[in-house]
Structure 1
Amino acid sequence: MKLAIVTSYPPSKVTLNEYAFHLVKHFRQHLKVTELTLLTDVHAKEAEIDFKEVGCRVRVQKCWKFNSYSNLFFIAKAIRKTQPDMVLYNLQFMKFGDKKISAALGLFSPWLTKLMKVKTTVLLHNIVETVDLESAGFTDNRLKRAVFNFIGEMLTRVILKADKVVLTISKYVTILEEKYQADNCVLIPHGTFEIPEEPSYELATGALKVMTFGKFGTYKKVENLIEAVEQVRMRTGQDLEIVIAGTDNPNTLGYLQGVKEQYSESSNITFTGYVAEEDISTIFSESAIVVFPYTSTTGSSGVLHQAGSYGKAVVMPDLGDLSILVKEEGYRGEFFEPKSVDSLAAAIEKLVLDKEHRIELAKANYKAASALPMSVITKMYLDMFEENMIPPAQVPIAV
């Protein structure tokens, strides 16, 4: 099978680039994939494709650019040139831009690919029905929210023109099937990027590191985390370090610099900036607790899956997609009220003081993460691709 994937890709800073890295890493190890082409936003000489594992060769073709109005046509041109058997789009609604027109135009690309008679699958990481537009930094104006929701629904119908649309959470499948009468939706879980050997769960001596990871400034803000940890320090006398790993959300550039200035007199806070792929294991392994200071969610959490794979206890709000992952995939954590500093402090304090409970949660999360490695997830995709490529007259009839 000649597989092409339309996606952002490391070292790109565009969303979902890390997920693409792990998809590619595991797709290329399946014998069914004879050729893998990345249609991406980075040049071949920059792309991180020097894998250690045996697998098919990966080719990279830069054919689109964030916020370009021409992505639709350049992607189509690249697909015509490479002639894949199957195209997989790794998407969320703002994948092709943070400007509304460029973002919307890019989402027409899967439909155009299908019209070109190329089998097309979309992996859609979020849906408009579950995104809090105000918390996510789009708008707090009621009229604008109504307009954005209407546009989002129209774009969802466009995306559903693809042969298959993959969702990572069962609730998303249900919504699209019931609201849009879609009959081409498939549930394939997010999966876990890497499954290291089970850790010892014992931490190095020194300050306990309370870490958060992501793109901050919209529904992910760190002020409450900083103030909550300061409360825990005062009450317990524990040596705690706050590690803020990641960058600004594209909609809130300058946010973290503002936080640095606001809390310049606070002690033991580390801002790592962008974390390269090779440094992620260190960031997680050295942490005692991973905190999700979210006020809403916008899709299945890659950070939660990573925390699980490194055997970490987590503190998270009991809301949205995080709550679903707990129920469906077996993750566990200490929960807090999303906007309450006191509630967040209480959850962190429990894990700081109760080592046995912290290790219990860490082991449960490692077990949950180990159940769905990316090798299994990519096989699920390939099975679906093969079924989709069989002409209708040849599809086996179940007896």
Structure 2
Amino acid sequence: MKYLIEKYNRQDSLILISSYPEKNTRYSEKVCAVGGFTKNITDNLKDHKIIFTTKLGYKKDQIYEEKNSLIYRLFKRNDLNSFIKLFLAIKKFTNVKKVLIQFEFSSFGDIYTTVLFPILLLSLKLLGKKVYFVFHQVIFDLNNLTEYLGWEKNDWRLPYFNFFLKLFYQTNVVLSEKTIVLEEEFKQRLLKISAQPNKIIVIPHGVDTKLKIINQKLAKNKLKIENKPTVLYFGYLTWYKGADLMIEIAKANKNINFIIAGGPSFTQRNKSHYQKYLKKFSNLPKNLKITGFVKERQIPLYFSVSDLIILPYRSMISSSGPLSLAFSFEKPMILSNKLKSYLKSKDFNKNLKNIGLNEKYMFKDFEKNKRINLNKVIISKLIQFSRSMKAIRDYKKISNQYLNTLQ
């Protein structure tokens, strides 16, 4: 271990604190989606990286190398002592001055451990580190997420948690060198509570252009899927993503195959209210299939087999990973009207206008209108849009934006 610390303790190294996938994988079942995001970023950064991440169930800490990255698994979710261990480990890298934190709620634990992040930032600042903080979620009001949280609509905790959220974001913006968000909408939200607009920048969610597109007929044969139009929902079974809406959507479109390519939420699976939510999926229509967690090697198959990707989200709290994957496979998509704030992102809006596609064909209210339109002209334009976004948000280009920010 001493040799590895000395090897990576360099001025040109970068410390990252993030979820991170299992060894030699990119999209892992044991971590949240930020893990794959971080690996796609770090693989395109040439300098040495020290990545502090979660243990993945192992009792002992692990330290190993992947390419030019040192992976240090020492963090246990919901463990207060892990913050002390993390700080002491970072302290050993005296020559490394820059720290990049990829933050998503629940990835390091529940709310009671999350409150320690501002203390961690302050401690790192006192060590002389420059901290760059990436918010993968920006939300100040939990009133529209009570079902996701398992709370009553007028729960007494709501005003206190909403106050805490604003204070949490404000504090982290003040303590960080730069605060990074993934869409313009999230920057505008932060600007409502921050007096430091120059510290908040947008670097879009990247697109993995290395994923292989497979012939649709071949993909259907491999997955043994009936030769009918196929619509895909990709991601965890969660309320805010509208996974349960897929049941009624499938019932309203009996001539279409529907696939939910995902399983129980990594961070919620053991919570009682979530177990109750999962019971909604016990009686499915014949044209709807749930796959469970999709392994990395099968991701290309499920996207390649699909004629349309839908995101029936009930709330926009983060930039969608499944949308990024839809771009990877150049797939047409329809988004919930709750995601219309994507239009505030310059690249998204400009691309839509360049293609000449009216936004009404991309966004819809899935709770009111469950019919799926596979009009060939509209689908063709949506494919154009997706292909263009793939080029614009290529992880290589996005990683360069991180490099420029970290200068």
Query: If the TM-score is normalised by the length of the shorter chain, which range does it land in?
Result: 0.7 to 0.9
Task: Return the TM-score normalized by structure 2.
Answer: 0.79
Residue of structure 2 in register with 1:193 after alignment: 208
What's the offset of the Cα at 1:359? 2.6
Cα distance in 1 between the residues matched to 2:162 and 2:103: 18
**Alignment counterpart, residue 130 of structure 2, candidates 98, 119, 126:** 119
Task: Answer yes or no: is 1:26 the counterpart of 2:44.
Answer: yes
**Alignment counterpart, residue 223 of structure 1, candidates 236, 244, 261:** 244
What's the offset of the Cα at 1:372? 1.5
Q: Given residue 134 of structure 1, which amino acid in structure 2 is its aligned partner?
A: T
CA contact (8 A) 2:17 2:51 kept: yes
Task: Answer yes or no: is 1:308 the counterpart of 2:327.
Answer: yes
Cα distance in 2 between the residues matched to 1:357 and 1:15: 30
Q: Given residue 304 of structure 1, which amino acid in structure 2 is its aligned partner?
A: L
Q: Given residue 90 of structure 1, which amino acid in structure 2 is its aligned partner?
A: Q
**Alignment counterpart, residue 96 of structure 1, candidates 108, 114, 119:** 108
Cα distance in 1 between the residues matched to 2:159 and 2:189: 18
SS of the aligned residue for 1:129 comes to coil
CA contact (8 A) 1:247 1:256 kept: no
Task: Answer yes or no: is 1:74 the counterpart of 2:85.
Answer: yes
Q: Given residue 335 of structure 1, which amino acid in structure 2 is its aligned partner?
A: F
Residue of structure 1 in register with 2:161 after alignment: 148
CA contact (8 A) 2:256 2:287 kept: no
Cα distance in 2 between the residues matched to 1:94 and 1:257: 19
**Alignment counterpart, residue 337 of structure 1, candidates 323, 348, 365:** 365
Q: String of CA shifts for 1:133-160, please: whole Å, max 9, x gaps.
A: 3254263335322111111112112211
Cα distance in 1 between the residues matched to 2:157 and 2:13: 42
Residue of structure 1 in register with 2:187 after alignment: 173
Instruction: Report matched runs for 1:126-275 at 5 Å.
Output: 126-129=137-140, 132-134=144-146, 136-137=148-149, 139=151, 140-160=153-173, 161-182=175-196, 183-194=198-209, 196=211, 206-233=227-254, 238-248=255-265, 250=268, 253-254=274-275, 257-263=278-284, 266-275=285-294
CA contact (8 A) 2:33 2:321 kept: no
Distance change >3 Å, CA 334–CA 64, structure 1 → 2: same
Instruction: Report matched runs for 1:44-59 at 5 Å.
Output: 56-59=67-70
Q: Given residue 128 of structure 2, which amino acid in structure 1 is its aligned partner?
A: K
Residue of structure 2 in register with 1:299 after alignment: 318
SS of the aligned residue for 1:273 comes to coil
**Alignment counterpart, residue 319 of structure 1, candidates 329, 338, 350:** 338
% same residue: 19
Cα distance in 2 between the residues matched to 1:271 and 1:256: 15
What's the offset of the Cα at 1:72? 2.2
What's the offset of the Cα at 1:256? 6.9
Distance change >3 Å, CA 385–CA 115, structure 1 → 2: same
SS of the aligned residue for 1:143 comes to coil
**Alignment counterpart, residue 53 of structure 2, candidates 40, 55, 74:** 40
Task: Return the TM-score normalized by structure 1.
Answer: 0.81
Cα distance in 1 between the residues matched to 2:70 and 2:98: 15
Distance change >3 Å, CA 58–CA 3, structure 1 → 2: same
Runs of 4+ in 1 over 4 A off after TM superposition: 43-47, 195-205, 325-328
CA contact (8 A) 2:327 2:387 kept: yes
Residue of structure 2 in register with 1:390 after alignment: none
CA contact (8 A) 1:89 1:110 kept: no
Cα distance in 2 between the residues matched to 1:108 and 1:278: 39
Q: Given residue 119 of structure 1, which amino acid in structure 2 is its aligned partner?
A: K
Distance change >3 Å, CA 294–CA 175, structure 1 → 2: closer
CA contact (8 A) 1:86 1:118 kept: yes
Aligned residues: 363
Q: Given residue 217 of structure 1, which amino acid in structure 2 is its aligned partner?
A: T
SS of the aligned residue for 1:60 comes to strand
What's the offset of the Cα at 1:13? 2.5
**Alignment counterpart, residue 105 of structure 1, candidates 107, 113, 116:** 116
CA contact (8 A) 1:114 1:163 kept: no
